[in-house]
Each structure stands twice: as C-alpha cells, then as structure tokens.
Amino acid sequence: MTNHADVLVVGAGVAGLAAAGEFLSAGLDVLILEARDRLGGRIYTVHDPMMAVPVELGAEFVHGMPREIFDIAAAARLGICELDGESWTYRRGRLVRSAELFESIGPVFEQMREAATYDMSFQEFLDHADLDPDTKIWATSYVEGFNAARRERISVLSLLEDEEETRRVHGDRAFRIFSGYDSLVQALLPTGRVRLHLNAVVSEVRWRPGHVEVIAHSRTGHPIGPFKAERVLVTVPLGVLQQNAIRFVPEPAEALAAALRLEMGSVIRVTLRFREAFWEDRAPRLSFLHSPGLAFPTWWTPHPAIAPVLTAWAAGPNGEALAGADEKAIVDLATSTLEKIFGMGRAHIEDLLEYWYMHDWQTDPFSRGAYSYVPVGALDARRTLAEPIEGTLAFAGEATCLEGAGGSVHGAISAGRWAARRLLEKLECGQASGSGNKA
C-alpha cells in the first residue's frame, strides 16, 4: 500500500466514510486512517448468535426520517422498522403509561422560544419558567438524557435550533435498522480508489498549504507511515481533539479553541439479556420506560421485535457518575434499579439475567465521550471548527454539524459531506487561480 494520496481522512466513522465518498466522486485518490480495528466509530454493533436482535453498543436509533440515512438504506436495500409499543414511567412508586408526559414537552419548548431573548442555560430557563414541578423534572430528564448534557451548561438557543431540525425530519418518530447500524456503515464504505488502513493511530499532523504529512503508529506502538497528501480531513470525535490526542504542526489555534468551547457528553448504556421478558406482566408492549431520579432514568426494549432484552441508559450527570466504574458494579446498579421499578426480588432478576453488553465510551481512547452538545455562549463554535483552514486542513463529525443535528448519525454524515465539498471548492478555486497565473 502506497502511503501517498490526494486526500487523507483520519477516522472511519460515518463522517469520514461519507466524506471519502465525496472525494472519490470528484476523482481524488483517498486514504482513510482508522485507529480501531473496525469501521463505524461510535456505531458499534455486536451480532451475538444467542440474541434475536443485533446489540448496539453505540448509536442505535434513526431519529426521524433524515434523507442522509434513508437514501443510503434504500440504495442498499436495508430494512428499517419504526418503533411502536407503549411508553411507561415509574412515578411515585408505581408504573403508569406516559404518553401525557411526552405531550408536556411541547409547552416547555414554547416557553423556551418566548424566553430566549438571549442565550441562557436550560437551568436558568427552568428557574424562571412557569412550569409545575413535575413538568420541570420531566423536562430536565428529557434534556439531560437525550442530549447527554448538564442542564446548567447546555444552551437554550442550541436546544431550540435542534428542535427546528427535529421538526424538519419528523423527529417525533424513531426507527431502527433491522440488520444493525453497522449495515449502514458498510453501505457507506466507498469502493474504487479509496484505501483503508485500520489500527493506524494518528499522533501528529504536520501541514502547510497544499501539503500534509501524518505520523501514526499501530495499536502496539509500532511506527507506520508517514502518510502524505495535499489535504487532510480529521473526523475524530470531539473528545479526542479536546484531549490533544493528536498534535498539529502548526497548531490551528482558532479551530482547537472552538473545540474546547463545546462539550462532550457522557453516556453509560448496558444491554441486559434475560431468559424471559418479566416486565410484560407489569408493562405490556413496553417500548420505553422512564424512571426520573434513578441511576438509570431511561430504558427500552427492542420492540417491535420480540426479545427478552432491556437497555439501560444513563446520560449527562448520570453518565458522568458511572463513567470509568467497574462493569459488574454498573450491571448491579441496573438490576437494583429494575428491582425498585418492578417490585421484584433482586435475586430473581439476577437469576433471569443471562448476559450483558456494554462499552464505556468515556474511557475509550478513540472516543473520550459519547457525543457533543453546545454550552451557553458557544453557538458559533461548531461553524468555527468546521471551516477549512487554508484549503488544506479541515475537521468534521457530529460536533461540526451546522444544521441542528449535532450528536446524531445523520448529522455526522451531513457534516462529513459538507466538509469534503468545502475542501473541494477550495481545491477548485486554487486550480482556477493557478491556471490564471500561468496565462
């Protein structure tokens, strides 16, 4: 494999793969460097023959009907199913159907729109909002759980921007890919002149206009490369940039400062496989279960697929509290939470538990968090981070999505394509300028 290409793409998540497809369509030679031994980044699907459904350790849902995903799925003939079933909530010691709680979110956003004469945190909004205590608790659980954010940090203006995108793509509906999210990753992988180098951990990017040299090593520390190109697109997660895991020479100070102004949210999720779906007696047709105030405030089943599987979700402050904890301790906390919700003996729940699956994205060196959100005063940071530098160096990923879809798979795809097109525009401008000089 030659170590030279027209474009280097660092990271083989969906942003990097989508960008590579754009470069390839423009006739460029592309080399992708990926630190992991697999594609997909924060999409991580496990196919266990003991499971009736794929297990998603990262992204799982298609939020709404974004063309970025549905067009790929249609071309690859991937089956997509819409979630249905019942939503339940554990409130004041009992389980109740919770459709009315979802309906209460609408008025919360209406009040936010009226109150947002300047940027403020969600906590500041709550402090002055005309909402009853139960609605405030529910809204906080929703914002922290869905956005993996701290309520005292996340920007209300960014939440409203995200809500507009949610409406645009019919985000009140949710879907899953039958064969697993990794099927979408495979469908995104471009063929042709694109080359892929797995287990290539990038440590340094040296660049000047029109020239890039990337230093990397294997997972065992063996030097590989260097890799050379005319331009480079870096699609590693925001958390990796914030931890300075990659050295840039010279340093793109404005872009990296913008990365530090954003926040990387924490999530701990654990999927539990049982011998039987013991919850069906108490919560028939269970799809989502909400338990605000408990260690795991959100749960879901594979419904409409039928399988004795529950996924526990702790995000934002709840995720931070569990990040880096012993895996068995996390599972014990999940089972004790189920004991409280369903009023069952813990020994019985543990006897029914056959296996669990989890991945701590916070301690993962190639992720260092779950997904990004915008804190107060940082609405411009995504755009600053996304803007190509001297037509040579650019960053892309869900953290650079400019359309209110940050933190989502379709947002990452969109951002990867946008960054590639911007670099191609710079290339075309440069070629035109060069032709003019020669004339």
Distance in angstroms (rounded) separating the CA atoms of residues 421 and 417: 6
Q: What is the pLDDT of residue 328?
A: 96
Closest CA to 156 of 200, 123, 181: 123
Average confidence (pLDDT) over 6-14: 98
Backbone angles phi, psi at 345, to 5 degrees: -65, 135
Half-sphere exposure of residue 41: CA atoms within 13 angstroms, side-chain side:
33
Q: Identify the residue with better confidence: 145 or 2.
A: 145
pLDDT digits (tens, 9 = 90+) for 350-360: 999 999 999 99
Calculate what percentage of the chain has a pLDDT beyond 70. 96
Closest CA to 387 of 431, 430, 427, 423: 423
Backbone angles phi, psi at 310, to 5 degrees: -125, 135
Q: What is the pLDDT of residue 254?
A: 98
What are the start-end ranges of the H helices in 216-322?
238-242, 253-261, 317-322
Average confidence (pLDDT) over 44-57: 96
**Strands of 30-33's sheet in order across:** 195-197, 30-33, 7-10, 231-234, 393-395
- Asked whether residue 435 carries a pLDDT value surpassing 70, the answer given is no
Half-sphere exposure of residue 89: CA atoms within 13 angstroms, side-chain side:
15
Q: Report residue 294 as tokens.
A: 């408990």
Q: What is the pLDDT of residue 316?
A: 96
pLDDT digits (tens, 9 = 90+) for 176-205: 999 999 999 999 998 777 899 999 999 999
Write the CA distances from 416 to 176, 297, 372, 400, 401, integer angstroms. Answer: 22, 32, 15, 9, 8
Average confidence (pLDDT) over 258-265: 98
Average pLDDT, the chain: 94
pLDDT band at 437 (very low <50, low <70, confident <90, very high): very low
Lowest-confidence region among 119-128, 220-229, 347-356, 423-432: 423-432
Average confidence (pLDDT) over 34-38: 98
pLDDT band at 427 (very low <50, low <70, confident <90, very high): confident
Global pTM? 0.95
Closest CA to 397 of 388, 99, 406, 389: 406
Which sequence spans correspond to the domains of the chain? 7-44+180-263+367-438
Q: Would you state the torsion angle of the CA atoms of residues 156, 163, 62, 143, taken in this order, to the nearest 10 degrees?
A: 30
Calculate what percentage of the chain has a pLDDT beyond 90. 87
- Asked whether residue 42 carries a pLDDT value surpassing 60, the answer given is yes
Q: What is the pLDDT of residue 79?
A: 97
> Is omega for the bond preceding 388 within 30 degrees of 0, making it cis?
no
Q: What is the pLDDT of residue 436?
A: 39
Q: Which residues contact 5 (CB under 8 A, 6 or more apart)?
A: 28, 29, 30, 31, 195, 227, 228, 229
Q: What is the pLDDT of residue 106?
A: 82
- Quickly tell me which residue has 């690859």 as its tokens: 76
Q: What is the pLDDT of residue 433?
A: 52
Contact criterion met (CB below 8 Å) for 160 and 112: yes
Q: Report residue 269 as tokens.
A: 């999720």
Q: What is the pLDDT of residue 439?
A: 34
pLDDT digits (tens, 9 = 90+) for 385-413: 999 999 999 999 999 999 899 999 999 99
Write the CA distances from 261 to 14, 367, 385, 388, 418, integer angstroms. Answer: 23, 17, 10, 18, 21
Q: Report residue 173 as tokens.
A: 């509906």
Amino acid at 24: L
CATH T-level assignment (fold) for domain 7-44+180-263+367-438: FAD/NAD(P)-binding domain (3.50.50)
pLDDT digits (tens, 9 = 90+) for 279-331: 999 999 999 999 999 999 999 999 999 999 999 999 999 999 999 999 999 99
- Asked whether residue 77 carries a pLDDT value surpassing 70, the answer given is yes
Lowest-confidence region among 99-103, 129-133, 333-337: 99-103
Question: What is the DSSP code (8-state) at residue 305?
Answer: S
Q: What is the pLDDT of residue 438?
A: 34
Distance in angstroms (rounded) separating the CA atoms of residues 18 and 420: 9
Contact criterion met (CB below 8 Å) for 287 and 244: no
Average confidence (pLDDT) over 333-345: 95
